[in-house]
Structure 1
């Protein structure tokens, strides 16, 4: 599954899932668990919590995209290093980096079921 898992994660990272409210269920398993070490502290999310987070994000950004620098996979797990860029509702003509991420995605039933993630904000 490693090639297929990598394609699914790449499709997720290339998507507008955090801007387009209708895509969330296409990528995430109902048993989703997210373990996130951010500069603001450690957080855990389940499917519903992460869905609420994505809904609130959608209200702030006009667009969001990821620039992937590294991606490796093994069986049903994919590790990726990427930068997230956004265009805000207030300024849709300027794209700015908002954060740098390293994430490990675990897949089940061709959906993301677990994420272990570390991130820090850009210095923009």
Structure 2
């Protein structure tokens, strides 16, 4: 599978709200540098899994809509919007945030990530 296909499959999965699925995509030495509207966060394997677990407590559904994706060698860049459905209101889809991320793929897993986001 190509790096682009790996990233597309990751964002089409329930990994963002399912810790077990998330584990399938993460390299054990993963580092994610994340600049959000609330500041800078550096995440590792465990903190990413914990975030996925926390998101699963609030959201019953997660959907990513990719608007741009570019791949070169082991790097994949994409722009996407993340939509969720809350436990309190599972019928209404809500825009959570907009993202731009660059992923480096190693051993067919997400290895290094550089991400920026803005809450909707």
Q: TM-score, normalised by structure 1?
A: 0.94
Corresponding residue of 1:100? 98
5 Å-filtered alignment, 1:1-124, equals 4-122=2-120
Question: How many residues align structurally?
Answer: 120
Alignment partners' CA distance in 1, 2:17 and 2:97: 16
Runs of 4+ in 1 over 3 A off after TM superposition: none
Task: Quote the RMSD (CA, aligned, Å).
Answer: 0.9
Alignment partners' CA distance in 1, 2:70 and 2:44: 25
Deviation at 1:24, TM superposition (A): 1.4
Alignment partners' CA distance in 2, 1:112 and 1:120: 22
SS in 2 for 1:98: strand
Q: TM-score, normalised by structure 2?
A: 0.97
Deviation at 1:21, TM superposition (A): 2.6
Structure 2 unaligned blocks of 5 or more:
none
Deviation at 1:8, TM superposition (A): 0.3
Structure 1 unaligned blocks of 5 or more:
none
Deviation at 1:73, TM superposition (A): 0.5
